[in-house]
Amino acid sequence: MRLKGAVVVVTGASSGIGAASAIAFARAGARLELGARRLDRLGAVAERCRAAGSPAVNVRLLDVGERASARTFIAAAKRDHERLDILVNNAGVGWRGALHEMPEEKVDELIATNLKGVINTTQSVLPWMLERRRGVIINVASVVGFRPAPYSAVYSATKHAIVGLSHALRGELSGTGVKVCVVYPGVTAGTEFFKDPDRPVGWQYPASWVANLIVRTARYPRRDAMVFPLRLAHLAEPVFGGLMDHALGEIRRRDLPD
């Protein structure tokens, strides 16, 4: 899709990958509709997007897990431009620890944000995209969407769910002109995703790399978008998956407090 002048909606644009994606779309000349719960942070990102070249940037309060909030947000974005070309479902939250110790409210929050949030915005946007027979929906999953991470069981489950939802919807929409894509970031620096003491060590992708991958996917939509080393892990998963479950469990147990 041509990005100059395209209307791009980014959820969870107040920090990390969402903010970096908004700025990368701005550089390509896209018009932006940005949503998240922290309006002050969104305002700062919007300033950077205008400076980067976006001809129009609007920010609005959005809680993706609340159906009414998602519907209102998407309807307002549509009112601004009379069309929506690209939806980036990026908002997401994580939680790390043993499943049996995970508080119920955290389980609910992860499912509401990471899964129901994507359903809420996608259902809101689809009728308009279908009417115009044009649109790209990009769902930000994770490497844990195909390689589950021990001690992040519910997070892994929500990201697997996003992959299933996206691939099924892709088939549902074939021939309509609306494309569905999944992006699988690995561990990404420059985000607020990991809270101390969970901050991972070792090599991390810069958020700008993931943002550029998202922009490339919008330009040339494809089913699954991942950087090369993760593609190898994806191919290896059916063969080494069982072994990886135990190896990663062992590695993560060493990191966790007793």
Ligand X SMILES: NC(=O)c1ccc[n+]([C@@H]2O[C@H](COP(=O)([O-])OP(=O)(O)OC[C@H]3O[C@@H](n4cnc5c(N)ncnc54)[C@H](OP(=O)(O)O)[C@@H]3O)[C@@H](O)[C@H]2O)c1
Q: Name the site residues for ligand X (rule: CB under 6 A).
A: 11-18, 36-38, 41, 62-65, 90-93, 113, 117, 140, 142, 185, 187-188, 191-193
Q: Which is nearer to ligand X, 55 or 206 (CB)?
A: 206
* Residue number with CB closer to ligand X (110 or 129): 110
Instruction: Give the C-alpha separation, 115 to 8, whole Å.
Output: 20
Backbone φ and ψ of 189, nearest 5°: -85, 165
β partners of residue 241: none
Half-sphere exposure in the Cβ direction for 146 (13 Å, CA): 23
Closest CB to ligand X among residues 41, 134 = 41
CB burial of 116-143 (b: ≥16 within 10 Å; e: otherwise) equals: bbbbbbbebbbebbeeeebbbbbbbbbb
CA angle 192, 187, 26 (to 5 degrees): 65
Residue 181 burial (C-beta neighbours within 10 Å; 0-12, 13-18, 19+):
buried
Closest CA to 94 of 193, 12, 162, 191: 193
Q: Given its phi and psi angles, is residue 86 left (phi above 0), alpha (psi -120 to 50 degrees) or beta?
A: beta
State the minimum distance, in angstroms, from the CB of residue 176 to ligand X. 25
In the residue annotation, 155 being an active-site residue is answered as: yes
Residue 18 vs 221, nearer CB to ligand X: 18
CB of 197 to ligand X, least distance (A): 16
Report the residue number, 190 or 221, with the smaller CB distance to ligand X: 190
With beta carbons less than 8 A apart as the criterion, state whether 46 and 25 touch.
Answer: no
Q: Whole-number minimum distance, CB 124 to ligand X, in Å?
A: 13
81-to-84, 130, 134, 175 alpha-carbon distances in Å: 7, 16, 15, 25
Shortest Å, Cβ 131 to ligand X = 26
* Set 151, 155, 184, 205: catalytic member: 155
Cβ 159 to ligand X shortest distance, Å? 7
**Bridge partners of residue 140, in order along the sequence:** 183
Instruction: Cite the active site residues.
Output: 155
